């Protein structure tokens, strides 16, 4: 679309963002044969509980900030 319109350079960030979203869509654990989500969830929860309280709060704040930003619809 951008190549046909001759606006590739003006939309470089959008193109990279689309590639990122495509990678994220294709990088789902359930696409791997034999994936056990329960085991991963248990391990993740156990690991998170071992983190210092300050680090847990920092990670939660970072996650909330990322979820509130959308590169496509802002």
Nearest Cα to Cα of residue 72 among 11, 1, 8: 11
Q: How much is the pLDDT for 54?
A: 94
Distance CA 38, CA 29 (A): 12
Give yes or no for residue 55 having a pLDDT over 80.
yes
Tell me the per-residue pLDDT of 1-40, one tens digit each, with 9 for 90 and over: 667 777 777 778 888 888 888 888 787 777 777 777 788 7
**Which among 20, 24, 21, 2 has a CA at the least distance from the CA of 11?**
2
What digits encode the pLDDT tens for the residues 6-16? 777 777 888 88
pTM > 0.85: yes or no: no
């Amino acid at each position: 679309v951008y190549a046909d319109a001759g606006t590739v350079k003006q939309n470089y960030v959008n193109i990279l963002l689309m590639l990122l979203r495509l990678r994220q869509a294709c990088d789902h654990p359930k696409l791997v044969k034999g994936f056990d989500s329960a085991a991963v969830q248990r391990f993740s929860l156990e690991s998170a509980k071992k983190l210092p309280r300050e680090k847990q709060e920092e990670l939660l704040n970072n996650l909330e900030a990322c979820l509130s930003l959308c590169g496509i619809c802002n």
